[in-house]
Structure 1
Amino acid sequence: MNDSPLTHLILTLAGLSLVAVGGGNSVLPEMHRQFVDVAHWFGDAEFNQMYALAQVSPGPNVLVVAVFGWRAAGYAGAVLGPLAMCLPSSVLTLVLGRLWHRFREAPWRMRIAAGLVPVSVGLVLSSGAVLAGNQDTNLMALALTTVTVIVTAATRLNPLWCLGAAGLTGLMTSLL
């Protein structure tokens, strides 16, 4: 087995690309496991910081793999990481897209589509749990996360308001 960070990055992201139901962020827990726990390229805090940096940048959410790739394997990782994450699923979509459309009224196809919804939601929720778990190191952080989840789930309030309020609360508590 090749121990090259670039090879590990490409093989990991190419495999995750094929199971990223709900988008690239849905496989964030496995990226965390591979990059933090297995490869030890960075720690929990740095993983979350890179994720946050990628999220404030314009473009699709999956661009986080460019930041991870850059940190793991330099410029080659920054370029090949997104390609490894996007190319396999794009080719699969292209190949299966016509077949999927052809059988759009088939009962088995509708069942598969309905079954993928909870899978997608579960994967995205697990991503949030990994990110929150890495940062909720004190009671205040845990309380902020809990309140944000409850407000977001129970209301139609834009989550950015919760994020802003949590940021202000964290700033205020750090100044005290």
Structure 2
Amino acid sequence: MTAGILIQIARVFAVLSLVSIGGANAVLPEIRRQIVDVQGWMNDGVFANLFAISNAAPGPNIILVSLIGWQLAGLAGLLVATLAIMIPSCSLAFFVGRAVNRWSETRWIALLKEGLIPVTLGLILASGVSMMRTADHDALTLAISLATAIFVVFSRRNPLWAIAAGTCISIAALHFGLMA
């Protein structure tokens, strides 16, 4: 393993860290674009698998970045990717937090807070759409994704029911040869 790949990992994730308002899921489309399209470090299938593992595991959504680092350069890659995605955004949050506390009564701080809410929600919605494009390769998987989204948005039930139903449908489809 060369230091070159570690420097590239650090550069990619440090830049993404500074725009990750709302966490790693908010910049997921750009993470995928950088990792798959720009750098060519992995294909969509591997990326989707790492995304699924990171979301199945307990803990913060930043685990995806750690898994990407691990996939690319082992333990050193994991450490570099994790620190690169965390240090810039944590430092920025610390200093911005101090400024917000200092000037919290001003109108422009209130407007800034209100303006960031729709930006963050839009980024997270774009992440979901991006992952659907990456993971859904046929009509059945697209239908499962859309049904899950509708269930979660319009139901007050636990999302685990949607996960269980989607899993059962996928298993049945595989059994009957409806999915590859």
**How high is the TM-score relative to the length of structure 1?**
0.93
- Write out per-residue CA displacement over residues 118-165 of structure 1, whole angstroms, 9 at most, x where no aligned residue: 111111111111111112111111111111111211222222221221
- 2:44 — aligned with what? 44
Opposite residue 110 of structure 2, the aligned amino acid is M
Comparing 56-65 with 41-50, greater Cα deviation is found at 56-65
- 2:61 — aligned with what? 61
Deviation of residue 35 (structure 1)?
Answer: 0.6
- Write out per-residue CA displacement over residues 101-133 of structure 1, whole angstroms, 9 at most, x where no aligned residue: 122221111111111111111111111111111
Query: Which SS does the other structure have where 1:115 is aligned?
Result: helix
- 1:172 — aligned with what? 172
Query: Which SS does the other structure have where 1:20 is aligned?
Result: coil
- Once the two structures are superposed, the pairs formed by residues 6-155 of structure 1 within 5 Å of their partners are 6-155=6-155
State the alpha-carbon separation in 2 of the partners of residues 56 and 163 from structure 1. Answer: 11
Opposite residue 77 of structure 2, the aligned amino acid is G
Query: Which SS does the other structure have where 2:137 is aligned?
Result: coil
Opposite residue 9 of structure 1, the aligned amino acid is I
State the alpha-carbon separation in 2 of the partners of residues 127 and 170 from structure 1. Answer: 23
Runs of 4 or more off by more than 4 Å in structure 1? none
Structure 2 unaligned residues grouped into runs of 5+: none
**How high is the TM-score relative to the length of structure 2?**
0.91
Query: Which SS does the other structure have where 1:21 is aligned?
Result: coil
- Write out per-residue CA displacement over residues 57-105 of structure 1, whole angstroms, 9 at most, x where no aligned residue: 2321102111101112222111111100000111112222111112222
Opposite residue 142 of structure 1, the aligned amino acid is L
Comparing 27-36 with 126-135, greater Cα deviation is found at 126-135
Structure 1 unaligned residues grouped into runs of 5+: none
State the alpha-carbon separation in 1 of the partners of residues 118 and 63 from structure 2. Answer: 24
Q: Check conservation: 1:41, 1:71, Cα contact below 8 A.
A: no
State the alpha-carbon separation in 1 of the partners of residues 10 and 91 from structure 2. Answer: 16
What is the RMSD computed on CA atoms of the aligned residues? 1.4
